[in-house]
Amino acid sequence: MSVDHACNLARVLDISLDWFLMGRNGPDWLLPDHLTEVELDLIGELRARPPRIAKLLITLTREIRKRPTSEPPSTNQP
C-alpha cells in the first residue's frame, strides 16, 4: 500500500495515520476513561479466552433478550 493510499484510508476512516500504521494513539473510545470498571474487566477477561470461547460468549449475549419488568416470566422456558 502506498503512503498516499494509507493517508486517504486513514482520513476516510477518521483514524490517525499513526494508529493505522503503528497502533499508537488509538481512537478516544478505546481510552479507559470512556469505559466503566466492569466493561474494562469484561474486555480483559474476554481477551484472555481462546477465540472459540469469545465467539460463544458473543453469541450468548446476543441471545439474551431484556424483558420489561412488568412482564411476568414465561412458563414455557426450559
Q: Which secondary-structure segment (H or E) carries 9?
A: helix 3-13
Can you give the pLDDT of all 78 residues of the chain as single tens digits?
Answer: 788 888 888 888 888 887 778 777 666 656 656 678 888 888 888 889 999 998 998 888 888 876 656 666 666 655
What are the cell numbers at 18? 499513526
Rg over alpha carbons for the chain, rounded to the nearest Å, is: 20
Half-sphere exposure of 57 (CA within 13 A, CB side): 12
Backbone dihedral angles phi then psi of residue 49, each to the nearest 5 degrees: -95, 155
pLDDT for the residue 12: 87
pLDDT for the residue 3: 81
pLDDT for the residue 8: 86
pLDDT for the residue 72: 62
